[in-house]
Amino acid sequence: MGTIVSLQLYVENPAAVTAVFNTIEALETRLTVNREHSEVMSINHAAGKHPVTVSKLVFDLIQQAKAASLLPYSRFNLAIGPIVKLWKIGFNGHSIPPADEITHRLSLTSPHLIELDQTNHSVYLAKAGMEIDLGAIAKGYIADITKLVLAQYNIHQAIINCGGNVLTIGSSPLTSSQEWHIGLKRPFAAANSLLGILHVQNKSVVTSGIYERYFIFNKQLYHHIIDPFTGYPLDNELQSVTIISDSSLTGDIYSTILFGFGVRHGLNELEKHKNMGAIFVTKDQKIFIKSNQHFQFELLADDYELCQ
């Protein structure tokens, strides 16, 4: 997944740890597009040629990602692969692609061109050159599965962190309030420099932002969330969006969707999702919070302003 995964348990259970990491590896092997072979890559290799039958797990995830891509105003797009591969942001060899190449590849990114057949779990990419990329949801999905694996070992208190996708399981054994304290990183600063601390119980905390995977060229920052309408990094007032939710898959989908919406539209959208909270951080150092009673936020950085 191109990231570091950490798991914290509060009982000694090496078998559970092994089971979790084996499960993560098995899922990565199915979902990745950063290796030549995976179930998703077999779909991509057959683009414009023929449908490919995949496991129910991969089919379901692609179906959810397609649904998220077709939501009104969504800039989440599971067919963004050709553009992600072109920019290579966060990988070796990143560069600013020629504009005509971006335009050409945009014609390969319509989610409508992903044909799903429910009866045999097959996926067909209707044009040669199309590529599915599940990078914006795989970590959330994997975190949720981890929770199920731990439950099989009777473990109901833990934290799993898949590169910024944090899933807290149960209540914390570390604090008197039994809440977990999750640090929200200060953008572009060292990992131990915090904007603030979230207090949560049994919630997923997922952040999408511009400050983990990016490069700078001619003083311009190019980050890894692509606007599928332009083919360039999504440019608005935001530095990051953090979603607090029960499911980490939902959190991962909505961190990307609400990042694309921006603050005003994003806060409005949250009126429809009472089971979700969010923290928006802007480039001009403002923080907008919609908690819906799912978390509390303790601000630590005095150069950021909490806004209503």
Question: Residue 135, class by beta-carbon neighbours within 10 Å (0-12 exposed, 13-18 middle, 19+ buried)?
Answer: buried
Encode burial over 47-80: b for 16+ CB neighbours within 10 A, e otherwise. beeebbebeeebbebbbbbbebbeeeebbbbbbb
- The interface partner of residue 187, options being Mg ion, ligand ADP, none and the CB cut-off 5 to 8 Å by kind, is none
CB-nearer residue toward ligand ADP: 147 or 172 = 147
Q: How far is the CB of 3 from ligand ADP (least distance, A)?
A: 8
Asked whether position 31 contacts Mg ion by CB under 5 A, the answer is no
Among 5, 43, 61, 75, binds ligand ADP (CB under 6 A): 75
Q: Give the interface segment with ligand ADP, choosing from 18-26, 167-175, 251-259, 296-304 (CB under 6 A).
A: 251-259
Coil, helix or strand at residue 140: helix
End-to-end CA distance of the chain: 36
199-218 binders of ligand ADP (CB under 6 A): 208, 212
For residue 175, what are its two tokens?
Answer: 């604090």
CB-nearer residue toward ligand ADP: 159 or 253 = 253
Among 76, 87, 141, 304, binds ligand ADP (CB under 6 A): 76
Among 252, 257, 279, 290, binds Mg ion (CB under 5 A): 252
DSSP code for 226: B
39 Cβ contact list (under 8 Å, min separation 6)? 30, 31, 54, 55, 58
Give the integer Cα–Cα distance in Å for 182 and 180: 6
As a 3-state breakdown, the chain gives helix, strand, coil percent values, each rounded to 5, of 30, 25, 45
Q: How far is the CB of 212 from ligand ADP (least distance, A)?
A: 6
> What does residue 282 show for φ and ψ, rounded to 5 degrees?
-100, 165
Asked whether position 109 contacts ligand ADP by CB under 6 A, the answer is no
CB-nearer residue toward Mg ion: 46 or 70 = 70
CB-nearer residue toward Mg ion: 144 or 252 = 252
Q: How far is the CB of 57 from ligand ADP (least distance, A)?
A: 19
Q: Give the interface segment with ligand ADP, choosing from 78-86, 99-107, 179-187, 272-280 (CB under 6 A).
A: 78-86
Q: How far is the CB of 175 from ligand ADP (least distance, A)?
A: 27
Q: Contact at 8 Å (CB) between 137 and 61?
A: yes
- Phi-psi group of 176: left, alpha or beta (phi > 0 → left; psi -120 to 50 → alpha; rest → beta): alpha
Q: Give the interface segment with ligand ADP, choosing from 49-57, 100-108, 133-141, 179-187 (CB under 6 A).
A: 133-141
Q: Contact at 8 Å (CB) between 168 and 180?
A: yes
Asked whether position 224 contacts ligand ADP by CB under 6 A, the answer is yes
174-203 binders of Mg ion (CB under 5 A): none
For residue 188, what are its two tokens?
Answer: 């572009």
Rounded to 10 deg, the angle between the 138-152 and 248-270 helix axes is 130
CB-nearer residue toward Mg ion: 58 or 65 = 65
Among 256, 281, 294, 304, binds ligand ADP (CB under 6 A): 256
Contacting residues toward Mg ion, per CB under 5 A: 136, 139, 208, 252, 255-256
Contacting residues toward ligand ADP, per CB under 6 A: 75-78, 80, 84, 133, 135-136, 139, 164, 208, 212, 224-226, 228, 252, 255-256
